[in-house]
């Protein structure tokens, strides 16, 4: 009697959410695996033809896809370094008890609240018109020109915007880590004659390892899955030179209506994201030290 009553409560509390979750995440995930083995153009009336692993074979011969995969790796690497170096530097600056610390912290975090789509549009104007203007009027045309027209620089442009968005975010996490380091430990090190550099590399960095784990995870998965900024800033251009993973999948499915191939890419995308982030968390977790 009591046990069945408990079971009813259990169902009442968990089933509503689990039902929605299953319909939105689990079922599409399962169907998605099935779709990756068929050839279909997305029109319900047209037949879905089972093609086995053909889609998977095809995507690894798809030059545009491989190019966009390579591009995404390059971008992720670049973004990872810029965002974390900036976030860490900002957090160290902001926690060094300066008068402007609080307001600076507030400002640095703000871009993170603005959506990627809108950030991309703001910077589109900056890279096209403001950069051109500055270049023409200062004679520094070597740096300030329209970055979005040059395939290499367009990628750097996305990295700049991504850094502007994420640096404040990682800064907040690094600050939380730095504040967790006991003051007397720093004092003791100072008394023992450790200079600022030693305190940074021998005390702060090792104790910040948990923060590194989180920040690297967030930037890694964020950069890998970037779509909004990519869409609004470059739209994949010039001539597909900045079309990254997520956008390539989107275009394949909804642009070219190759649903099967696109879904196969989406599954590969998932596997890569999962493997890369799990490996990263595993590696950095191992290096965390206990206080």
Scan residues 182-221 and list those touching another protein (CB under 8 A).
210, 214, 218, 221
Closest CA to 72 of 206, 267, 204, 244: 244
Name the segment binding another protein (CB under 8 A); options: 56-64, 73-81, 150-158, 253-261: 253-261
User: Are 129 and 201 within 8 A, CB to CB?
Assistant: no
Of the pair 155, 260, the CB lying nearest another protein is at 260
Interacting residue with another protein among 53, 60, 270, 282 (CB under 8 A): 270
Pick out residues in 126-145 that bind another protein (CB under 8 A): 126, 129-130, 133-134
Indicate which single residue of 49, 50, 70, 100 sits in contact with another protein (rule: CB under 8 A).
Answer: 100
* Angle in degrees, CA 93, 96, 102, rounded to 5: 75
Tell me how far apart the 2 most distant CA atoms of the chain are, in Å: 84
Which of 1, 43, 113, 191 touches another protein by CB under 8 A? 113
Site for another protein in 10-49 (CB under 8 A): 10, 12-14, 16-18, 20-21, 23-29, 31-32, 35, 44
CA distance 58 to 182: 56
Q: What angle do CA 42, 45, 46 make, to 5 degrees?
A: 60
- Which of 80, 116, 158, 212 is the binder for another protein (CB under 8 A)? 116
Stretch that binds another protein, among 52-60, 77-85, 93-101, 146-154 (CB under 8 A): 93-101
Residue (78 or 246) nearer to another protein, CB? 246
DSSP string, 73-125: HHHHHHHHHHHHHHHHHHHHHHTS--TTHHHHHHHHHGGGGS-HHHHHHHHHH
User: Could you say which of 56, 74, 104, 200 contacts another protein (CB under 8 A)?
Assistant: 104
How many positions of this chain bind another protein (CB under 8 A)?
87
Among 175, 208, 233, 261, binds another protein (CB under 8 A): 175
CB 184 within 8 A of CB 264: no
Residue 63 CB, nearest approach to another protein (Å) = 20
Q: How far is the CB of 283 from another protein (least distance, A)?
A: 17
**Does 54 engage in binding with another protein (CB under 8 A)?**
no
Residues from 218 through 237 that contact another protein (CB under 8 A)? 218, 221, 225, 227-228, 231-232
């Amino acid at each position: 009697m009591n046990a069945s009553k408990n079971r009813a409560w259990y169902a009442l509390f968990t089933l509503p959410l689990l039902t929605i979750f299953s319909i939105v995440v689990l079922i599409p995930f399962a169907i998605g695996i099935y779709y990756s083995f068929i050839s279909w153009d997305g029109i319900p009336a047209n037949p879905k033809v089972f093609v086995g692993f053909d889609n998977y074979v095809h995507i690894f011969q798809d030059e545009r896809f491989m190019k966009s995969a390579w591009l995404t790796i390059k971008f992720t690497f670049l973004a990872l370094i810029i965002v974390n170096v900036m976030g860490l530097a900002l957090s160290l600056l902001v926690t060094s008890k300066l008068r402007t610390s609080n307001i600076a912290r507030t400002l640095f975090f703000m871009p993170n609240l603005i959506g990627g789509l809108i950030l991309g549009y703001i910077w589109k104007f900056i890279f096209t018109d403001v950069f051109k203007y500055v270049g023409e009027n200062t004679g520094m045309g070597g740096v300030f020109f329209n970055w979005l027209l040059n395939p290499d620089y367009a990628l750097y442009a996305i990295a700049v915007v991504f850094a502007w968005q994420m640096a404040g975010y990682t800064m907040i996490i690094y600050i939380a880590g730095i504040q967790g380091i006991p003051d007397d430990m720093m004092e003791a090190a100072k008394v023992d004659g450790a200079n600022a550099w030693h305190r940074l590399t021998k005390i702060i960095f090792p104790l910040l390892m948990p923060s590194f784990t989180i920040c690297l995870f967030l930037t890694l998965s964020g950069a890998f899955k970037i779509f909004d900024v990519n869409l609004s800033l470059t739209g994949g251009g010039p001539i597909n030179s900045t079309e990254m993973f997520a956008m390539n999948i989107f275009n394949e499915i909804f642009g070219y209506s190759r649903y099967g191939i696109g879904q196969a890419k989406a599954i590969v995308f998932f596997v890569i994201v999962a493997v890369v982030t799990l490996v990263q968390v595993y590696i950095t977790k191992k290096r965390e030290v206990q206080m």
